[in-house]
């Protein structure tokens, strides 16, 4: 099978329902942004130190990357335009959300409490998860109107919301494990640079 199909050369692509849509359609924007998020998670995985203390995070990130493909399938199956069999095949399950919440709670219990905003950064793997978090928030913003039109499952939106929380906590956790200090936000810092 060739990597190129030439079916998208006129600026359209197909949803799982079979409907052809422009490549800048909201469904495709949402799918592409989820793909960006997944790619940033893959980059963070590649940047993680090889020490065994990060084995659990590595397992979690792989599960999340698979879940994002499942989520993408659900996004590509608009409820009003798809058969019940396709909707059932591409459903997105509550268990995925429950798993994220459990992982968030486990990591958060080991972290110092935050009293202000922190700047994205730290170890390259942690910084990349911060980038993934912001991309995930964008995916959520794009997918929310589709959910409001009842074209996308509520669980897709909840998962994206929870995933951004997970990526924030995972970034903090990695930086904490590697003793990388968090840089606290200072309001109007530029005004004090010459002091």
HSE of 111, CA atoms in CB hemisphere, 13 A: 22
Determine the pLDDT at residue 112: 84
Determine the pLDDT at residue 173: 97
Determine the pLDDT at residue 49: 95
Determine the pLDDT at residue 147: 79
- For domain 20-192, the CATH class is mainly alpha
Determine the pLDDT at residue 180: 86
Determine the pLDDT at residue 186: 73
Q: What are 191's two structure tokens? A: 């005004």
Handedness of CA 68, 72, 78, 82 (dihedral sign): negative
Closest CA to 59 of 115, 5, 106, 118: 106
Compute, in degrees rounded to 10, the torsion defined by CA atoms 65, 98, 164, 124.
-60
Residue positions counted in the chain: 195
Segments of the chain scoring below 50 in pLDDT: none
Q: What are phi and psi of 118, to 5 degrees?
A: -115, 155
Determine the pLDDT at residue 5: 63
Say if CB 27 and CB 156 are below 8 A apart: no
- Write down the domain spans for the chain: 20-192
Closest CA to 163 of 38, 28, 31, 18: 38
Say if CB 138 and CB 76 are below 8 A apart: no
Could you report the per-residue pLDDT of 18-73, keeping only the tens digit for each?
Answer: 676 667 678 889 999 999 999 999 999 999 999 999 999 999 999 999 999 989 88
List own/partner pairs for 92-95 with CB under 8 A and 24 or more apart. 92/153, 92/155, 92/156, 92/159, 93/155, 94/155
The region, left, alpha or beta by phi > 0 then psi within -120 to 50, assigned to residue 121 is left
Q: What are 137's two structure tokens? A: 């928030």
């Amino acid at each position: 099978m060739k990597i190129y199909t030439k079916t998208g050369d006129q600026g359209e692509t197909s949803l799982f329902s079979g409907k052809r849509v422009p490549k800048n359609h909201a469904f495709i924007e949402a799918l592409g942004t989820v793909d960006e998020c997944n790619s940033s998670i893959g980059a963070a995985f590649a940047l993680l130190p090889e020490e065994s203390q990060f084995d659990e995070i590595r397992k979690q990130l792989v599960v999340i990357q698979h879940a994002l493909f499942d989520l993408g399938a659900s996004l590509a199956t608009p409820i009003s335009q798809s058969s019940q069999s396709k909707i059932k095949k591409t459903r997105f399950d509550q268990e995925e959300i429950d798993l994220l919440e459990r992982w968030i709670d486990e990591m958060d219990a080991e972290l110092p409490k935050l009293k202000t905003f922190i700047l994205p950064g730290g170890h390259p793997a942690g910084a990349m998860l911060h980038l993934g978090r912001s991309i995930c928030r964008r995916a959520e913003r794009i997918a929310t109107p589709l959910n409001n039109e009842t074209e996308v499952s509520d669980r897709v939106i909840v998962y994206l919301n929870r995933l951004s929380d997970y990526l924030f906590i995972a970034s903090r956790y990695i930086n904490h494990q590697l003793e990388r200090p968090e840089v606290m936000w200072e309001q109007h810092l530029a005004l004090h640079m010459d002091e």
